[in-house]
Structure 1
């Protein structure tokens, strides 16, 4: 989002009107952020995205007709997809992993302090994944890798160059582009190019999925 002067455009998706109203009041008071639309269910998301062209979507998980994971997957398949932050009360391991693998760039719980939600919107819009600390700890503590995941992840990473693998490891450790540039002695522009190449080679949608693949490969 560097160089973009317009406010970040945010779409709210939640079947609870009070939640949407609270988020709207909170975010619309923040400089550089504008709530451009709302949807009450996942089946309303495609039309809302077409109408409002959001940069970031705050997405509930459980909704009556179409759940947030399905809606997220649909958004991330669009030609110019918005970033998605799942905002939910349901923090089971399955929900977390399904949401991240669907392409969500963040996963927050609804009891997250407002300032952290605002920070998450800005960071995810800039390409940095964000997870609630409680979620991060649980993912780190996952001891059992699903059968075959380790081998598949290792095989996928084998197509990358050594330098690209260095970037993968740094991304998995939660480093920003600037931090990666400093650690690996390259420019931020070069880091961004490596990340783009990695996403293209591996068929992934975002940095969070890179981190998950590195985790499956036992690198993080």
Structure 2
């Protein structure tokens, strides 16, 4: 079983590689640190499963997963299975991972046996989720209200969530001000607070985060 590890933390990659390599029948064929490296690594190394972090230096593991799915569809073959292994334990990230095509989702800190079981299950065509996550999936998929920005980004106020959705739709601050019947300066303040809470530096990064979560649909 050939495994590709995608994570930008060298120490974590080293520990995960050691844990996987110690198991019979598993070979770590390579590592990647960014979204940009993933397609080439998959094409070159032909892994049976990709273990993917959610947060990468140049974007999201969700985007990398979607790219793999889209490329496989264009090539007329099935995508390489992706197991998300991440620090993110919020419902929005879990739902977005499912929508992106991930076959498994574990939170970092899961035990070695749980990780090995997940890798084998996903590589074999199954789906697997951490024991504390599985119980939430049915509720998540059933409730369309969970796609609302306020649910996906609980750190934001309801108004900030509304502004983020409009930003993700491509509206500039002037248009957003007209849509919400507020001053443009007020919108700028909301955007500043959104950047701070999402830990992003640019509008493009905020849009990418929002669209990863399914926001911005017209």
| TM-score tier after normalising by the smaller chain length | 0.5 to 0.7
- Deviations along 1:151-210, one digit per CA (max 9) or x if unpaired, are xxxxxxxxxxxxxxxxxxxxxxxxxxxxxxxxxxxxxxxxxxxxxxxxxxxxxxxxxxxx
Structure with bigger gyration radius: 2
Aligned: 1:12 with 2:5: yes
Give the match for residue 111 of structure 2: 113
Aligned residues: 141
Q: Residues 95 and 141 of structure 2 are in contact (CA less than 8 Å); yes or no, is this contact kept in structure 1?
A: no
- Deviations along 1:2-39, one digit per CA (max 9) or x if unpaired, are xxxxxx11000001011110111111111111000000
Output aligned runs, 1:78-117, within 5 Å: 78=72, 79=75, 80=77, 81-117=79-115
Change (3 A) 1:144 1:104: closer
Q: Residues 91 and 140 of structure 2 are in contact (CA less than 8 Å); yes or no, is this contact kept in structure 1?
A: no
- Aligned partners of 1:97 and 1:141: how far apart in 2? 10
Shift in Å at residue 97 of structure 1? Answer: 0.8
- Aligned partners of 1:145 and 1:69: how far apart in 2? 21
Equivalent of residue 25 in structure 1, options 14, 18, 36: 18
Aligned: 1:125 with 2:118: no
Aligned: 1:47 with 2:47: no
Shift in Å at residue 141 of structure 1? Answer: 4.5
Runs of 4+ in 1 over 6 A off after TM superposition: none
- Deviations along 1:85-142, one digit per CA (max 9) or x if unpaired, are 0000101111101111111000001111001110111111111100001111222454
Which consecutive unaligned segments of at least 5 residues does structure 1 have? 1-7, 150-220
Q: Residues 95 and 140 of structure 2 are in contact (CA less than 8 Å); yes or no, is this contact kept in structure 1?
A: no
- Aligned partners of 2:140 and 2:62: how far apart in 1? 21
Change (3 A) 1:54 1:111: same
With 132-141 and 83-92 compared, the bigger mean Cα shift is at: 132-141
Change (3 A) 1:120 1:137: same
Which consecutive unaligned segments of at least 5 residues does structure 2 have? 148-218
Change (3 A) 1:115 1:43: same
Give me the TM-score of the superposition, normalised by structure 1: 0.61
- Aligned partners of 1:105 and 1:113: how far apart in 2? 19
Output aligned runs, 1:1-220, within 5 Å: 8-77=1-70, 78=72, 79=75, 80=77, 81-142=79-140, 145-146=143-144
- Aligned partners of 2:141 and 2:106: how far apart in 1? 22
Q: Secondary structure at the match of 1:31?
A: coil
- Aligned partners of 1:133 and 1:29: how far apart in 2? 23
- Aligned partners of 1:87 and 1:140: how far apart in 2? 20
